[in-house]
């Protein structure tokens, strides 16, 4: 047992739960204080009851989400409760953090801007915050109050936009990928990729069906689905794969499992359902496919953990030698993009992954893109490359687009990370619309 890793997970979990509790307490007190000044008793009571009802809905949705082992069809009522709860909790969480950041900035500003003699004149029995509020310049006080209102409102409006608009704005992205060792006959072969469907309370069958239809309209030669069909054990994986079975391509429909299939204990069920509908879910397996008389090797693996449950690092893509072909190009389906370093070392020319959702929320500040996915991977979304057969610690990640290689003759491994279709945590996408990829292979 790695006690340091366990302690870190406990600390992170408790910090998150504490912050969630503080955010709800903050908005409870804010609403109670705001409604306290209302003259109409009935309006004040109605507002407080409405807020209490909303908290009860959130609690019920959380309890329902913790129930394990319920397989079947999603109920419309449960989906609405889960979406409302996810929107409220995530909006309140970030709004609380933003408001507290403004308050912290105000306290620091008041401390440094208030002259020392003025601070000594403050009555000893008054709090520093109240004293600074009395002594603060009115224009400064108005500025920080306005900033607090904007900081609190922005996450709510952003989440509503991300839920109602961008979450379902499926976009087709066509990308040409040069591939080492590609026979001339495979030049121009098209691969359609979807990933991270997450059929759940946040993603309906109708939404999946629309994405499937858009994928079929691309007319790709090969279609792949790179994991996370559902989110949890209460989600109906049979419904998801029934929709996926409507995909069609001349070279077939292939896939791999994601980490949420592990959490839901649905890896075997996904494999059996794929086979039932004439598709193939590759689990530490490979298959040689032929296109225009030339062959390529398609490899698929279950989600590759970077650490075991007890915190010890694990070997990614272990025992892969028997699956890799040296006489034809290799394409790897791996949900986790962090397998790319090892795949490049092993000589796999192209990896297709998902998992990150592109960060799901991305903010650009001063030409820097900020996203939560940075905490789990260097490979957020799009195309990346590394030299083939080189140890991962000797090379840096290179990203698209249009950056010429230092050595044009050097053979490179490429990775494409799909932004996915669904959402996790909150039913929101901001700056990262869902993606259907059309990958066109080109000779390097």
Chain segment 101-152, per-residue pLDDT in tens: 888 888 887 777 665 555 445 455 555 555 545 555 677 777 878 888 888 8
- Give kind and range of the element (H or E) at residue 6: helix 3-35
Residue 72: the pLDDT is 44
Within 13 Å, how many C-alpha atoms sit on residue 231's CB side?
19
Residue 308 backbone phi and psi in degrees, to 5: -75, 175
Domain-wise residue ranges, the chain: 3-164, 171-443
The CATH T-level fold of domain 171-443 is: Purple Acid Phosphatase; chain A, domain 2 (3.60.21)
Per-residue model confidence (pLDDT) at position 130: 52
Query: Quick one: pLDDT at residue 309?
Result: 66
pLDDT under 50 in the chain at which residues?
Answer: 66-73, 119-120, 122, 132, 394-409
Buried b / exposed e over 389-399, threshold 16 CB at 10 Å, is eeeeeeeeeee
- How many CB atoms are closer than 10 A to CB 163? 22
* Phi, psi angles (nearest 5°) of residue 91: -65, -45
Q: What mean pLDDT value characterizes the chain?
A: 84
> How many CB atoms are located within 10 Å of the residue 207 CB?
19
Continuous segment of H or E residues that includes residue 103: helix 76-113
Q: Is 116 exposed, middle or buried (0-12, 13-18, 19+ CB in 10 A)?
A: exposed
pTM: 0.80
Closest of 23, 151, 29 to residue 89, by C-alpha:
23
Cβ-Cβ contacts under 8 Å for 363 (sequence gap 6 or more): 369, 370, 371, 430, 431
Where does residue 321 rank: exposed (0-12), middle (13-18), buried (19+ CB within 10 A)? exposed
Q: DSSP character for 357? A: G
């Amino acid at each position: 047992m790695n006690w340091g890793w366990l302690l870190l997970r406990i600390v992170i979990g408790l910090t998150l739960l504490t912050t969630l509790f503080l955010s709800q307490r903050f908005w409870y007190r804010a609403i109670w204080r705001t409604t306290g000044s209302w003259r109409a008793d009935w309006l004040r009571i109605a507002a407080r009851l409405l807020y209490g009802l909303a908290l009860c809905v959130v609690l019920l949705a959380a309890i329902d989400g913790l129930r394990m082992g319920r397989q079947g069809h999603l109920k419309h009522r449960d989906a609405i409760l889960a979406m409302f709860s996810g929107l409220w909790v995530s909006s309140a969480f970030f709004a609380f953090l933003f408001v507290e950041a403004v308050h912290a900035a105000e306290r620091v500003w008041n401390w440094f801007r208030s002259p020392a003699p003025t601070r000594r004149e403050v009555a000893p029995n008054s709090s520093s915050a109240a004293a600074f509020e009395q002594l603060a310049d009115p224009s400064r006080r108005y500025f920080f109050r306005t900033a607090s209102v904007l900081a609190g409102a922005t996450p709510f409006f952003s989440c509503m936009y991300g839920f109602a608009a961008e979450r379902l704005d499926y976009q087709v992205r066509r990308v040409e990928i040069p591939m080492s060792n590609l026979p001339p006959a495979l030049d121009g072969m098209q691969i359609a990729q979807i990933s991270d469907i997450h059929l759940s309370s946040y993603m309906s069958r109708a939404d999946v069906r629309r994405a499937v239809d858009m994928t079929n309209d691309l007319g790709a030669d090969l279609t792949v689905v790179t994991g996370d069909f559902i989110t949890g054990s209460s989600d109906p994986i049979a419904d998801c794969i029934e929709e996926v079975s409507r995909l069609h391509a001349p070279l077939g429909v292939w896939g791999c499992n994601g980490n949420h299939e592990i959490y839901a204990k649905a890896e075997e069920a996904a494999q059996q359902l794929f086979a039932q509908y004439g598709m193939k879910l590759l689990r530490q397996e490979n298959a040689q496919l032929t296109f225009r008389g030339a062959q390529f090797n398609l490899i698929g693996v279950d989600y590759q953990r970077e650490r075991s449950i007890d915190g010890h690092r694990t070997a990614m893509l272990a025992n892969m030698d028997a699956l890799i072909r040296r006489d034809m190009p290799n394409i790897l389906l791996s949900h986790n993009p962090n397998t790319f370093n090892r795949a490049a070392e092993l000589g796999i020319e192209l990896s297709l992954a998902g998992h990150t959702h592109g960060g799901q929320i991305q903010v650009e500040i001063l030409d820097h893109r900020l996203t939560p996915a940075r905490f789990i991977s260097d490979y957020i979304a799009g195309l990346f490359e590394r030299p083939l057969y080189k140890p991962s610690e000797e090379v840096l990640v290179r990203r698209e687009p249009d950056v010429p290689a230092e050595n044009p003759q050097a053979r490179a491994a490429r990775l494409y990370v799909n932004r996915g279709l669904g959402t996790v945590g909150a039913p929101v996408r901001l700056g990262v619309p869902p993606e259907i990829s059309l990958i066109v292979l080109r000779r390097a």
